Amino acid sequence: MPDNSSASSRPAEAATGLPPKGALDHVDSWIFDLDNTLYPASCNLFAQVDQRMGEFIQRFLSVDAAEAQRVQKQYFREYGTTLRGLMMHHGLTPTEFLDYVHAIDCSPVQPSPALDAVLGRLPGRKVIFTNGSVKHAENVMARLGVAHHFHGIFDIIAANYVPKPDPGCYASMIREHAIDPRAAAMFEDLPRNLAPAAALGMTTVLVRTDSEWAQDGRDGPHIDYVTDDLIGWLERAAANRGA
């Protein structure tokens, strides 16, 4: 059963940088957010997605750019994704939105032999858990050269369009992939998306970015580790297993 212990009972090393020796020996499932987590935020792919969301909303709602941006950001804050708000309030068919906003140039994401190597050193399954689509995740992983490491992708469609941080989509993800949350580590760039993971008993790792959405809650007790360098953190984690 999931461990729903309170934040006060979480490990004493919470909100540190690198994991100490043996701290992750229990982990057999590695759950990664995609955008600005598995690849560096400096790739700035989301700027393309953001622009295309604005264009879509302008046409869909027949509004100007300023109003489209207001709607986009409001729905993201309130519902976890802009898509969810458009579905709830405007009857949007989600596939047309996803197809449009993810039709981007992924070439800023460079192949990462280092990420490929360290994922191969981590025993257990790896899963992508994204509020985006499988197609977008596959495009990004192909650029990175790491798709062969992943057991599966749990995307917004698999979640029935209920996005992180809604606890229901976490329950669906762990059920679909038969994950014991107490033996899982989750990596995210948005602090709020780690709170439900922590409540389930997962080890949580915040991959820090400068995004405005990534500031609120970044020092919360639901975050076990914080890093600016995913690959370096994973290399340390792999080296310290069983030590």
Q: Same domain, yes or no, for 126 and 156?
A: yes
The answer to whether position 215 is within a domain reads yes
For the chain, the average pLDDT equals 91
pLDDT tens digits, residue range 158-194?
A: 999 999 999 999 999 999 999 999 999 999 999 999 9
Q: Give the angle 127-218-35 at the CA atoms, nearest 5°.
A: 35
Q: 139 with 119, same domain?
A: yes
Q: Per the domain annotation, does 2 fall within a domain?
A: no
| pLDDT of amino acid 213 | 59
Q: Which residue in 57, 216, 233, 81 sits closest to 157, CA to CA?
A: 81
Q: Which residue has the higher pLDDT, 68 or 14?
A: 68
Interhelix angle for 65-79 vs 45-61, to 10°?
Answer: 110
**Same domain (yes/no): 117, 90:** no
* CATH at 185: 3.40.50.1000
The answer on pLDDT for 9 being more than 80 is no
CA-CA-CA-CA torsion sign (98, 101, 106, 112) = negative
Predicted local distance difference test score (pLDDT) of residue 7? 37
Q: Which pLDDT value is given to residue 226?
A: 94
Tell me the whole-structure pTM to 2 decimals. Answer: 0.89
Same domain membership, residue 118 and residue 234: yes
| 72 lies in some domain | yes
Of 46, 241, 4, residue with least CA distance to 124: 241
Do 87 and 189 fall within a single domain? Answer: no
31 occurs within a structural domain: yes
pLDDT mean over 215-221: 75
**Domain of residue 25, residue span:** 7-40+111-240
